[in-house]
Structure 1
Amino acid sequence: MYRRGVTFLAAFLLQLCRPVCSAVQPGCRLGSLRREGVVVEGDVIIGGTFGVHENKMFPEINYTQQPQRAQCQSFSFRNYRWLHAMIFAIKQINENPELLPNISLGYGLYDSCDVIPRGLEGAMWLVSGQDELVPNYRCHDTAPLAAIVGDSASSVSIPMARLLGLYGYPQISYFATAPTLSNKREFPSFFRTIPSDAVQGKGLARLASRLRWTWVGVLTDDDDYGQGIAREFQQEALRLGICVEFLELVPILYSHSRTQRLVEVIKASTAKAIAVFSWKTYLYPIMEEIHRQNVTGKTWLASEAWSTAQALSDNRAFEMLTGTIGFTIHRGTLPGFKDYLLSVHPFRNPQDIFLRLFWEQAFGCSWQGDGAGVRLCTGSEDLAGLKNIFLDVSSLRLTYNTYNAVYAVAQALHDLQACSPGEGPFDGGACADVKDFEPWQILHYLRKVRFKNPEGEEVYFDENGDPPALYDIVNWQPTPAGDIQYVKVGSYDFRAPPGQELFLDESAIVWPGGEMQVPRSVCSESCLPGWRTALRRGQPVCCFDCIPCSVGEISNQTDSTKCLRCPSDQWSNTRQDACVPRLVEFLSYEEPLGASLASLAVLASLLPASILGVFLRHRHSPIVKANNRQLSYVLLGALALCPLCSLIFIGRPSPASCMLRQTAFAIVFTLGVSCVLAKTLMVVIAFKASIPGSGLRRWVGSRLPNTVASVGTLVQVGICGAWLGLASPYPENNTTSHVARIVLECNEGSALAFWCMLGYMGVLASVSFVVAFLARRLPDSFNEAKFITFSMLVFVSVWLSFIPAYMSTGGKYMVAVEIFAILSSSMGLLACIFFPKCYVILLRPERNTRDHLMGKGAAAARKN
């Protein structure tokens, strides 16, 4: 049913064409001529359909009148050269005794005008072998038809392939690239010498990515060719991070309203790069409207269907196409082809029904000479003096494809002819007769053909009937004469290893306006390293805002989608694009602050040691013996050790130093404060015991102060022991308090134990202060209580100031604050308690008497 339906449809389309076609000569005679085609005799016929005329304008169908036939008014020198490439190849083959010996090839050529009805008509004309087209019938007096070379447009080749596939006739296209034609279930007899758009679409997306275009528009034909390549392009573009701003369909039947709307979309687009997958015939009216509306500032990415389209590049009004870059067919060379083209002449080639028309177009003359002001063609015109694309053999692309297609058919026929009886591929080892074979038999050999053409390049088809994918990349560059030349600037070879398929020489490209820099086509400017992209709601992924990375995070690539957090031992640099090692911070002896504090600590330790030496030397003097001499020695020793404890705070923290620094300081300082408390109690008790009948006499002596000092210190030792046993301090790397530094510090282990230790010392100091304050009114000659009051006032003031300062700082400055508090409080105790005594011992020895200490010396002095 499918075959019958397609056959009926083809016959119906051909009958629609019949009223507007020229009169035909019925019969099966080879060499018959008609306005659109010609057949030249041979043992085997190779057919070919070429758009000798280009259909630039299509009549708009409004369904209010009978549709008109497309007007094929423009003769294409370029397409006509393709036709002669087929004739040239057949001429070479017929002259080659090693290829198809004793077999002459003939050919049938038809002008399809690049439109579907004409393409189907040409296919049926070649299959039927007669002018009167009768589906499912071929004249038996004609030579067998081996294959049909053509057509150029995918839109024409697809219906031709459906029709020819029903009968098994091979079709080899030199320019049809639609991916759907690779489907062998739907198009079993279709081959091509041009790569499929499935490869081209991916390659064009990679080219756009190489040019750093992430925001493009797409124009594509409203047919299988356009939709197929657009689908492949979009899939690969999505994988490469390229967004399509719009996708508009180019009408294959001209519509003024659709054309205007499409151009308005292009004009309003923010994309600077427009990828166009369209046949030149359909694209021409779009470019005319773009020129009329003066749309500029766009760079065009061309598929091979129009990347070397003379109809577009020759129109000097289309200046906006300068700078176009795109894929084109791989260029080949055909030695001898230029001489062949120069040899064609209407008088020597009367069978070429198109040659007289070519002559008229090329030389601006007429064979009839009936046009007003038109000179008569004589045949003596100089073909070599022409400067048109027909004689330009410098960039043979589709011409080369046509040449390879003919040789592929000839090679298949050669293999068929070389078959040995009994060893053939058909039932029972049968072979086919090269002068009388069925189309499906030559199709068998064509699928397996693999050879090198006369130029040494290998020609073969894969399982889908496609050749190896190889493209040249061309750039439309203006010449000094104002014309357009196609300059090769790269290549794309799908056979190359992954990542090496695309080669592009960007320095050789000329962009619109003569610019040498690649135009930018992006929705959003790239986010530099140190920033990340943030997608805009409701817009494609290529449209984003740039947000700086947070502190401690980096992005080291352009357009990073997220920022990476630096490792704990590193931090972000100022540009946020690299992680750098953090500075290690601790209070060291090498830095000025640490060295200064260490020096002060040593000096602060030497001073009480010196005073201790003075006290030992004058140990028998009354002022030293007063108020428990041994307790003063212990207090001076504690005050000498306290500054030295601060040295443990300086330097790189270690487990031992972290465990010792707070506990050693706490125990030594508590010993000193306990001694002060004991001395304060002794001052009070000694004064009260001097009153007659006082019961405090029994507490006078060294037992009570020693007990107070010992018990007070042992309580602190217990607190510190529990601290070390349950949650001892340990060194740690603090990476949170400073953004770009690692603070080496001691973790106190238990904050409760730390504050209990400080709180206990505060309690002892407060008790001493209170007791000394209450005893401040004792006789002036016995002024120990006043000195202790001042010392405790200094001590309490220092440590009350220490708490907020300690809590508000961090790192090495926190350690410095504690060292300063230790040194200040130690010096405060030393100065207030022992400096007055040293003054008496060293500078006023006359006061260092028992009577003076008891107040008698002062009374005697007043009497005198």
Structure 2
Amino acid sequence: MFILTFFLLLLNLPILMASFIHPRYFWKMKQSEGKDGDLKKGCIFFPTILEWPVDKEYFKKILNIQTPTENYKFALSLAFTMDEVNRNPDLLPNKSLVFEWNEDNCKSVYEWYSAIQLWRYYPNFVPNYICEEDTMCILVLTGPNWETSVTIGSYLELWKFQQVIQLTYGHFHPILSDHEKFPYLYQMAPKHTSLSLAMASVIVHFSWNWVGLVISDDDQGTQFLSYLRRELEKNTVCFAFVNMIPINMQLYISKAELYYNQIKESSTNVVIIYGDSYSTLAVSFQFLASRGLQRIWVITSQWDTTTSKRDFMLDSSHLTLAFAHHHGEISGFKNFVQTMNPIKYTEEYLARLEWMNFNCDASISNCKTLMNDSLNNSMERLVVRTFDMSFSDGIYDIYNAVYALAHTIHAMFLQQVENPTMVNGKGHDSWCLKVNAFLKKTQFTNPVGDRVNLNPKEELQEEYDIFQIWNFPHGLRFKVKIGQYSPYFTHGQQLHVYEDMIELSTGNRQMPPPSVCSADCGPGFRKFWQEGMAVCCFKCSPCPENEISNETNMDQCVKCPDDQYANIEQNQCMQKAVIFLSYEDTLGITLALVALCFSAFTALVLGVFVKYHDTPIMKANNRKLSYILLISLFFCFLCSFLFIGQPNSATCMLQQITFGVVFTVAVSTVLAKTVTVLLAFKITAPGTRMRNFLVSGAPNYIIAISTLIQVTICSVWLVTSPPSVNIDVHSEHGHIIIVCIKGSVTAFYCVLGYLACLAQMSFTVAFLSRNLPNTFNEAKFLTFSMLLFCSVWITFLPVYHSSKGKVMVAVEIFSILASSAGILGCIFVPKCFIILFRPQEKSLQNIKENLPSRTDISLIVTHNYIFTSYKPNTQL
């Protein structure tokens, strides 16, 4: 036992020596041991009205006490405000507001409980008050933690012979708003009526949709959760977790690791802390910080001091956002503190303030030496670097509380002067009732310019300043205002974020890092949810075909209009290219040139035939039918141009009708020529009816009759279901195909079928005439031309039906050109070759020598007689 005692004394020896060598180190160690306990202490002040003026020196004397910095700032604020009121000639003239303060004014809740128990038996222990009959009432200012206010208020109410008007500073708490339980209590801090809106606006502004929430497990936390959840759900923001910290410390300790792991394992980077900073929630926050858990912490200003501890370190990608009630800077407060004469402040006390401010390590090398600093410099350094006093909510509450009392008592004195008969009541009860009645009506504008209203039934929408806090080693912090929220602006303009200030502190206009449950679905994708997933958690799916999404995180893709198509990325609708067989296309211009060349060649052949129309070969091949056939072939080639170019209603109707009629003329002319040749060589008996039929040119009527039938078919087609323009937007991706549809497919095949019948008849007759004498017999050429014609159009049908768009049109043009060129080449090219290059082969003498003895030359040339006096040898 002796060894153990000696060992403990040995361990404490450095502390004892430090307290003797220099007391500042003793203060430091004591502060380190009790830093969390100091924050739980509450301070009460008893404002008193004096009937004589006091000067500033009065407050300098009463402030010469040793107390933690966190609470000392409240005394400074109270002294400053009372001094400002006392110097105001328009408030309480010839009177002064003062307060008494000593070390016993700041205690923990348990210490206050013990002290109040003592007051119940020894009333004289109440500072500066004697419970006599003429004592008016007690005015008490309590805070900053709500437990202190509840403790003081509850036990002072037990003194039935005295009434207490209690004003609280510190943050608003719903327990204190119970007017039945605390009828004479006024919370100077405004209610967080707009806090959930402000936080939701900031979260939406920075595009966060996945946040965590840590609240105290009480009515205050539950109410805030309800308000915040409602606002976040409106903006599709989800909770990654909700930690409700138990009020009971033992229960919290048993679950601390569970809460820590839940936050650590969560994918969110943003955690909202809301609740009483003098509760187990504060312990939880410190525990999270001590474990090095790095997040963006969203807090209220009451947590500002908690995050300033030196063991709470944030790196460059994590920070703290603090919401504080908006109010202006208290003019003159900093100057008041700086000009206070600290002659009575001991070096030990200033050292204590300095250590609390900078949170120095125990090592003397890490602390700034104060030996050579003047006391004024120490105080100045305290004001510049501690807690942003002029922006502290607690200081501002005390400021408003003093002015509220001043305005209330001033109004009571004015009423007493103006209407002395109305002051009938005597004693403290009447006085407290009047003070309470006047306080409820008190409304004023403080020197800062803010409106203050103590009527509990009138709740004002609060404005918030948003601060960004960076914590660095050894308690150094960087705090900058980055925005403001005001519910009085129109929706969408309530939040003002100073992007330049964010960029100044982070190097980026966006708040790092992002906090989302799922990665954004970029353009070209849409969100879809799986069962059981939160609304903020989704997966990305590519848009369906021909649908786009040109924004991030779209729920549904948008279908492109019919005249547009989705690009490869599916983030933009592109205008579809209009496709038709145009002259700009290589295929179109090629077919047009071919048609033009064949048309020119046909005209050239026609010119040759006209020039050499008196030659025997021309007379023998029926010049009229040749001219009709050449002209019809010329138009066959030209009708190809109706198929080239952008279709319209006129060209669509002319395409098939012109093609059908012109080709009918051509094929029927071939049929007429074939019949003429056959009859010329088969009918030899003079004077017969068939001979007269042939000589009279009756076969030429085949053309008229055949064409009339085709015209009838086309007329019925035009009347019943004419061809029209078809705009096809679906067949080819990215293209609009403009083609002519047939209208009636049956009518189209009737036209083709009729042409096929004529061609088959021509081929059959020509085939039967293939063995006739060769001198003027063109039956073989007619046979080959019809064989080629039929082959082309038989091949056309399957190819045509397997094609689409302009290729289908090109197939039809090619068939027209090929069949027309086949007729032209097989029938007329050989004749042109003979006429131009071998005219002697078909001379008159050669004809006579090659004719059979029984052949009538007049029949060969039909009605174009070459030798009218020549008669065949009838004896052969």
Matched, 1:258 2:252: no
Alpha-carbon offset, residue 646 of structure 1: 1.6
Check 1:409–1:564 CA distance in 2 against 1; reply closer, same or farther (3 A cut). farther
Check 1:345–1:550 CA distance in 2 against 1; reply closer, same or farther (3 A cut). same
What is the aligned partner in structure 2 of residue 5 from structure 1? none
Matched, 1:267 2:274: no
SS in 2 for 1:244: strand
Structure 1: gaps of 5 or more residues: 1-33, 45-73, 350-354, 366-379
What letter is aligned with 2:277?
K
Q: What per-residue deviation string (whole Å, max 9, x for no partner) do you get for residues 641-666 of structure 1?
A: 11211212222322222221221122
Q: Conserved in 2, the CA contact under 8 Å of 1:469 and 1:494? A: yes
Comparing 390-399 with 198-207, greater Cα deviation is found at 390-399
What letter is aligned with 1:81?
K
2:331 and 2:568 map into 1 onto residues whose CA distance is 64
Alpha-carbon offset, residue 676 of structure 1: 2.0
Comparing 621-630 with 519-528, greater Cα deviation is found at 621-630
Alpha-carbon offset, residue 162 of structure 1: 10
Matched, 1:415 2:407: no
1:261 and 1:763 map into 2 onto residues whose CA distance is 94
2:636 and 2:427 map into 1 onto residues whose CA distance is 116
Aligned with residue 328 of structure 1, among 324, 330, 336: 324
Matched, 1:142 2:131: no
What letter is aligned with 1:323?
L
RMSD: 4.7
What is the aligned partner in structure 2 of residue 85 from structure 1? 77
Q: Conserved in 2, the CA contact under 8 Å of 1:555 and 1:562? A: yes
What letter is aligned with 2:228?
F
Q: How does 1:100-499 map to 2 (within 5 A)?
A: 100-101=92-93, 104-105=96-97, 140-145=133-138, 149=141, 151-153=143-145, 173-177=168-172, 192-254=187-249, 255-281=252-278, 282-291=280-289, 293-296=291-294, 298-306=295-303, 308-309=304-305, 311-319=306-314, 323-330=319-326, 332-338=328-334, 341=337, 362=353, 382=375, 385=378, 388=382, 393=389, 395-419=391-415, 437=430, 441-460=434-453, 464-479=457-472, 483-499=476-492
Q: TM-score, normalised by structure 2?
A: 0.75
Q: Conserved in 2, the CA contact under 8 Å of 1:688 and 1:696? A: no
Check 1:172–1:794 CA distance in 2 against 1; reply closer, same or farther (3 A cut). farther
Aligned with residue 686 of structure 1, among 680, 683, 692: 680
What is the aligned partner in structure 2 of residue 42 from structure 1? 49
Alpha-carbon offset, residue 385 of structure 1: 2.0
1:499 and 1:540 map into 2 onto residues whose CA distance is 26
SS in 2 for 1:260: helix
2:568 and 2:274 map into 1 onto residues whose CA distance is 47
What is the aligned partner in structure 2 of residue 809 from structure 1? 803
Q: Conserved in 1, the CA contact under 8 Å of 2:462 and 2:486? A: yes
Aligned with residue 522 of structure 1, among 501, 505, 516: 516
What is the aligned partner in structure 2 of residue 623 from structure 1? 617
2:767 and 2:225 map into 1 onto residues whose CA distance is 97
Q: Conserved in 2, the CA contact under 8 Å of 1:130 and 1:139? A: no
Alpha-carbon offset, residue 742 of structure 1: 2.9
Q: What per-residue deviation string (whole Å, max 9, x for no partner) do you get for residues 15-66 of structure 1?
A: xxxxxxxxxxxxxxxxxxx99756464379xxxxxxxxxxxxxxxxxxxxxx
Comparing 586-595 with 182-191, greater Cα deviation is found at 182-191
Larger Rg: 2
2:166 and 2:766 map into 1 onto residues whose CA distance is 119
Q: Conserved in 1, the CA contact under 8 Å of 2:168 and 2:186? A: yes
Check 1:319–1:592 CA distance in 2 against 1; reply closer, same or farther (3 A cut). closer
Q: Conserved in 2, the CA contact under 8 Å of 1:182 and 1:465? A: no
Q: Conserved in 1, the CA contact under 8 Å of 2:310 and 2:473? A: no
1:611 and 1:764 map into 2 onto residues whose CA distance is 24
Comparing 748-757 with 504-513, greater Cα deviation is found at 504-513
Alpha-carbon offset, residue 451 of structure 1: 2.4
Alpha-carbon offset, residue 260 of structure 1: 1.2
Q: Conserved in 1, the CA contact under 8 Å of 2:68 and 2:353? A: no
Q: What per-residue deviation string (whole Å, max 9, x for no partner) do you get for residues 335-367 of structure 1?
A: 443465578899989xxxxx99988954899xx
What is the aligned partner in structure 2 of residue 797 from structure 1? 791
SS in 2 for 1:418: helix
Q: How does 1:427-826 map to 2 (within 5 A)?
A: 437=430, 441-460=434-453, 464-479=457-472, 483-509=476-502, 518-626=512-620, 628-690=622-684, 697=691, 699-701=693-695, 703-781=697-775, 783-826=777-820
SS in 2 for 1:722: helix
What letter is aligned with 1:737?
S
What letter is aligned with 2:283?
P
What letter is aligned with 1:582?
K
What letter is aligned with 1:398?
G
Comparing 792-801 with 774-783, greater Cα deviation is found at 774-783
Check 1:176–1:668 CA distance in 2 against 1; reply closer, same or farther (3 A cut). same
Q: Conserved in 1, the CA contact under 8 Å of 2:775 and 2:850? A: no
1:205 and 1:652 map into 2 onto residues whose CA distance is 58
What is the aligned partner in structure 1 of residue 27 from structure 2? none
Check 1:767–1:404 CA distance in 2 against 1; reply closer, same or farther (3 A cut). farther
SS in 1 for 2:323: strand
1:186 and 1:765 map into 2 onto residues whose CA distance is 114
1:233 and 1:223 map into 2 onto residues whose CA distance is 15
Comparing 335-344 with 256-265, greater Cα deviation is found at 335-344
Check 1:689–1:854 CA distance in 2 against 1; reply closer, same or farther (3 A cut). farther
Check 1:782–1:118 CA distance in 2 against 1; reply closer, same or farther (3 A cut). farther
What letter is aligned with 2:80?
F
Alpha-carbon offset, residue 670 of structure 1: 1.8
2:81 and 2:476 map into 1 onto residues whose CA distance is 31
What letter is aligned with 1:226?
G
1:708 and 1:150 map into 2 onto residues whose CA distance is 123
SS in 1 for 2:293: coil
SS in 1 for 2:786: helix
Q: Conserved in 1, the CA contact under 8 Å of 2:726 and 2:739? A: yes
Q: What per-residue deviation string (whole Å, max 9, x for no partner) do you get for residues 441-476 of structure 1?
A: 545544443322223444346875445522222222
Check 1:723–1:119 CA distance in 2 against 1; reply closer, same or farther (3 A cut). farther
Q: What per-residue deviation string (whole Å, max 9, x for no partner) do you get for residues 255-310 of structure 1?
A: 212221111101110112222223333333324433554434x222223331x12x
Q: Conserved in 2, the CA contact under 8 Å of 1:527 and 1:559? A: yes
Q: What per-residue deviation string (whole Å, max 9, x for no partner) do you get for residues 135-192 of structure 1?
A: xxx975433346x655445677799999999999876554434689889899987755
Identity of aligned residues (%): 34
1:715 and 1:738 map into 2 onto residues whose CA distance is 39
Q: What per-residue deviation string (whole Å, max 9, x for no partner) do you get for residues 300-322 of structure 1?
A: 2223331x12x331232544795
Alpha-carbon offset, residue 420 of structure 1: 7.6
Alpha-carbon offset, residue 429 of structure 1: 9.1
Structure 2: gaps of 5 or more residues: 1-40, 52-65, 357-372, 855-876
What letter is aligned with 1:470?
E
Alpha-carbon offset, residue 102 of structure 1: 5.4
Alpha-carbon offset, residue 681 of structure 1: 3.2
Aligned length: 767
What is the aligned partner in structure 2 of residue 371 from structure 1? none
User: Going by fraction, where is helix more abundant, 1 or 2?
Assistant: 2
What letter is aligned with 1:42?
I
1:769 and 1:694 map into 2 onto residues whose CA distance is 27
1:265 and 1:849 map into 2 onto residues whose CA distance is 114
1:160 and 1:686 map into 2 onto residues whose CA distance is 140
